[in-house]
Homo-oligomer: A and B are copies of this chain.
Amino acid sequence: MSLGEFELIDRLLRPLAVGFPGALNLRDDAALVDVPPGHQLVIAKDALVAGVHFLHDDPPDLVAGKLLRVNLSDLAAMGAEPLAYLAVIARPPEFPENWLEEFVRGLERDQTAFGLHLIGGDTVGTTGPVFLTLTILGLVPSGHALRRDGAGPGQLICVSGTLGDAAMGLRILRGLAAPEDVSMPLVERYRTPRPRIALGRALRDIATAAIDISDGLLADLRHILDASGVGARIEAAAVPLSEAARGLPGARLGALTGGDDYELLFTIEPGKAPLLSKLAETLDIPLTVIGTTREEPGLEVIDERGEPLVLDRLGWQHF
């Protein structure tokens, strides 16, 4: 059975706005947001399309979680605290009601986990696949947002967590054979990104530049290098792999070029290195130095024998 627009908003979405007065119970044309003195609003917008960014048979609650988490990761990369979000849900005709119910259950679970509320949006029909867009709002102390353009030469390039897991997870979902005991953690990395909010907050006054890894380590590093006007040298062997990924074919390449990990990639002054291990311990997140920036432009990747590595693709194409 398909759900009417008003019922979708009334029964499923309105409860997600409870607790945020400026959402006006989703009854107005727009929402009202207060920004405390000394703070800036941080805002980002991303979309997920069925068949492009998620699989048609992915569990709807995990799709909701991914949509929210991908956007939260944008906040993390700027050092911002989550505040609220707006969503547009576009449905084909006769779209199943229980998909939407499970989708909203996923939103509810993750908005509670990350402390934010739905404050507006739109539900529309489409003749195409399910189409989801989310606009996320966060707060950051004025002038303290992390940006891509602050890296200088001679700084350390660092990443959080392990890389390539999501790419391996996607390959497993698409039929690549893998031992059962390693599959689930990797599939989970693909389906349920972990936005590094606490790390982003802690890096505000430590990192010189930051980005979240959505397109792949090398592609996203290029964004920092381009914006900051520096080059870099990366030690491929230093890039951290998870236990689950380590034994799989293509894990190293996946870690360099695979997208969807949503770890933070950031640069720090060498003098700040001692803070890193302390931070890793406090937050219980691995933080690894994988290379250095330099004046000379370009991105050099060095393999374990010290030889430059040639890669035929630096980016990540969605399936």
Contact = CB atoms under 8 A, between A and B. Distances in A.
Interface of A: 22, 24, 27-35, 37, 40-47, 49, 51-53, 73-75, 77-78, 80, 86-88, 90, 119-122, 124-129, 131, 133, 135-138, 140, 142, 145, 147-149, 211-212, 223, 226-227, 318
B29 A142 contact: no
B135 A47 contact: no
Contacts of A34: 40-41, 142
Among A29, A34, A124, A128, which residue has the most Cβ atoms of chain B within 10 A? A29
A125 B48 CA distance: 9
B28 A120 contact: no
A82 B300 CA distance: 45
B124 A45 contact: no
A100 to B, nearest CB: 16
Identical chains in the assembly:
2
A33 B43 contact: yes
A88 B47 CA distance: 7
A35 B30 contact: no
A145 B142 CA distance: 25
Nearest to A44: B30
A81 to B, nearest CB: 12
A28 B127 contact: no
Nearest to A24: B147
Contact of A126 (B119, B128, B140): B128
Contacts of A148: 24, 27-29
A86 B30 contact: no
Nearest to A39: B35
Contact of A45 (B41, B77, B122, B125): B122
B149 A27 contact: yes
Contacts of A22: 40
B35 A140 contact: no
A39 to B, nearest CB: 8
Contacts of A51: 127
Among A33, A43, A52, A136, which residue has the most Cβ atoms of chain B within 10 A? A43
